[in-house]
Chains A and B, each alone.
Chain A
Amino acid sequence: MLTVVAVVTGIVVVATYLTWLAGRLDRLHSRTDGAHASLDAQLLRRAAAAIAIASYAAAAEVLTVPVARALTGAARAASTAATEERESAENDLSRALHTAVPRIEARDADLRELLADLATACSHVVLARRFYNDAVRDTCSIRKRRLVRALRLSGHAAAPTYFDIDDTPPAALSALDPAQPT
């Protein structure tokens, strides 16, 4: 009798724990998906801000046509890149920004506003990427537990991957958005 009670209690405890763990994992996957959507939105916004400033600066002859074209090209490529090429395309855009932004002289109000938009977009990419990678780290730390792997508690959800790019904003932009994260 005592053995039966012990076994039943044991099963209840284990089942409760596993349910709790699965729920926790589910929440972490949701958090990661949400953070990914937000990162995606911020990256697209950065690309849009880059295109806006490139076309304005080229028309106003603040940037030479080749530099402006390179920036626009990198921004278009980044916003249309397939998942597996996204990191390298976004890195190309960061590099194009580092080349173009120091050459842009903010000589009128429109240009200053475009630069401020770009500065915000760049700093938001830094935020969104850090929050996303945090979510990935938290999720993976549970997924890689032996128990979770053995019982396939993660279900069909694919393991999230870190998003690694150099998103340091150009120095000229940091000055516009001074409290931005580093």
Chain B
Amino acid sequence: MGHVRDLAEALIDAGHDVSVLAPVDDESHPIPAYVVPAGRTVPVRYNGSVARLVFGPISARRARRWLRDGQFDVLHLHSPEALSLSLITLLQASGPIVATFHAANPRSRVLAALSPALQPALEKIQGRIAVSPAARRTIVEHLHGDAVLIPNGVHVQAFADAQPFPGWPGEGGAIGFLGRIDEPRKGLDVLLEAFCPLASQRPGLRLLVAGPGDVEAVRQAVPPPIQDRLVLLGRVSEEDKARFYASVDLYVAPNTGGESFGIVLLEAMAAGTPVVASDLDAFRRVLDDGRAGELFAVQDSGALADTLGRLLDDPTARRALVANGTARVRAYDWSAVARSVLGVYDMVRLASDSEPSAEESALSRAAGNP
């Protein structure tokens, strides 16, 4: 999982020792030195998608050995509410335990049904972290607890250093969209509706679209005269994603709902690209109420077209958005996120050290924890 890798690397950069127990499907592939393989995953169909889970005696034994050999000051689990490696590890662990909850699914029936059975294991966790307000709501509603909010981070420098694709953004200006192109909630339709009139007024203006989906269907959806002004990249690599942001004058997030955080906005801000986003709660929060990026009414393509036109004509306003965005995104850099997570680690270590029961501390020592 990207989050775990990024956090582990940020903590290592800050001078800490990190070991990650993770499922590894292809052991011939090189894995980072800090990863300890925990066996293969088993695909399980759930809710229309395939979740890759780890369970079984082999994983349990590896988890036990990892805990014993590691002598960790803090154990940090990810999504322990899923029936997976984290839960297997949690069942065998003692000492300071932190868990991050990623799932944002306040109405999950599976979670509601499992919650009582998970309770004895989950109550061993001393510090709970939610990555988004929606993830926190999920915890409050299903797991009868609360969590502190520490959002995902962004590698600010990697985005800031990226070079645009040759010839971009070009004389006539360029607008960018990133996301699944055939997922209605990502809102490409809204953007295309705003783009068509703008493109007919502005001869050089282009739209750069990155993201998987049916490219031909999207091309057919715009009138023929402006089809060549639409450039569809399909799915892009991490590196090309950074170059994508650098290649456009304005980044548009026309999502119509379902976004819990808005990491794409942060990436655009890190790349120094001004952001125009629909006025969703999550986006409004990330954009500092519109100071770090322009907001437009959700699904209002007319308002979007007006905003885009105005910003394309006004480099000063764009520079102001970029300046505010650059300042804003610094707080979301992985180094800052790692500092917050370390604050949580310190807290649970302090709490465990002050636990008075002698029997308890004898048990912790036996389990290899300090």
| Residue positions of A touching B, CB distance < 8 A | 24, 26-31, 33-35, 37-38, 41-42, 120, 123-124, 126-128, 130-131, 133-135, 137-138, 141, 178-182
Q: Which of the candidate stretches B81-89, B227-235, B340-348 sits at the interface with the other chain?
A: B340-348
In the complex, how many angstroms separate the beta carbon of B131 from the nearest chain A beta carbon?
A: 12
Given contact pairs A124-B347, A138-B123, A130 touches B147 in the complex (Cβ within 8 A):
yes
Residue pair B123, A131 in contact (C-beta under 8 Å): no
Whole-angstrom distance between the alpha carbons of A135 and B350 in the complex? Answer: 15
Report chain A residues within 8 Å CB of B336. 178-179
Whole-angstrom distance between the alpha carbons of A178 and B149 in the complex? Answer: 12
Report chain B residues within 8 Å CB of A124. 343, 347
Residue pair A38, B331 in contact (C-beta under 8 Å): no
In the complex, how many angstroms separate the beta carbon of A45 from the nearest chain B beta carbon?
A: 11
| Residue positions of B touching A, CB distance < 8 A | 119-120, 123-124, 126-128, 144-151, 330-332, 336-337, 339-340, 343-344, 347-348, 350-357, 359-360
13 residue pairs bridging A and B, Cβ less than 8 Å apart: A28-B123, A29-B357, A30-B356, A30-B357, A31-B123, A120-B343, A127-B127, A128-B347, A130-B146, A130-B148, A178-B330, A178-B332, A179-B151
Given contact pairs A131-B126, A179-B151, A31 touches B343 in the complex (Cβ within 8 A):
no
Whole-angstrom distance between the alpha carbons of A128 and B347 in the complex? Answer: 7
Whole-angstrom distance between the alpha carbons of A49 and B53 in the complex? Answer: 46
Whole-angstrom distance between the alpha carbons of A10 and B348 in the complex? Answer: 39
List the 5 closest A-B pairs by CB distance, nearest first: A178-B331, A37-B354, A181-B148, A34-B351, A34-B355
Report chain A residues within 8 Å CB of B347. 38, 42, 124, 127-128, 131
Residue ID in chain B nearest A123 by CB atoms: B343
Residue pair B351, A181 in contact (C-beta under 8 Å): no
Whole-angstrom distance between the alpha carbons of A33 and B361 in the complex? Answer: 13
Residue pair B144, A131 in contact (C-beta under 8 Å): no
Partner of A27, one of B124, B339, B351: B124
In the complex, how many angstroms separate the beta carbon of A21 from the nearest chain B beta carbon?
A: 9
Residue pair A30, B360 in contact (C-beta under 8 Å): yes
Residue ID in chain B nearest A176 by CB atoms: B331
Whole-angstrom distance between the alpha carbons of A131 and B343 in the complex? Answer: 12
Residue ID in chain A nearest B360 by CB atoms: A30
Partner of A34, one of B150, B337, B352: B352
Report chain B residues within 8 Å CB of A128. 347, 351
Report chain A residues within 8 Å CB of B150. 179, 181
Whole-angstrom distance between the alpha carbons of A89 and B344 in the complex? Answer: 25
Residue pair B357, A179 in contact (C-beta under 8 Å): no
Residue pair A131, B127 in contact (C-beta under 8 Å): yes
Report chain B residues within 8 Å CB of A180. 340
Report chain A residues within 8 Å CB of B352. 34
Residue pair B339, A179 in contact (C-beta under 8 Å): yes
Residue pair A35, B351 in contact (C-beta under 8 Å): yes
Given contact pairs A26-B357, A27-B360, A180-B340, A38 touches B148 in the complex (Cβ within 8 A):
no
Residue pair B124, A37 in contact (C-beta under 8 Å): no
Report chain B residues within 8 Å CB of A37. 350-351, 354
Whole-angstrom distance between the alpha carbons of A140 and B198 in the complex? Answer: 61
Given contact pairs A34-B352, A37-B351, A120-B343, A179 touches B360 in the complex (Cβ within 8 A):
no
In the complex, how many angstroms separate the beta carbon of B285 from the nearest chain A beta carbon?
A: 9
Residue pair A24, B355 in contact (C-beta under 8 Å): no
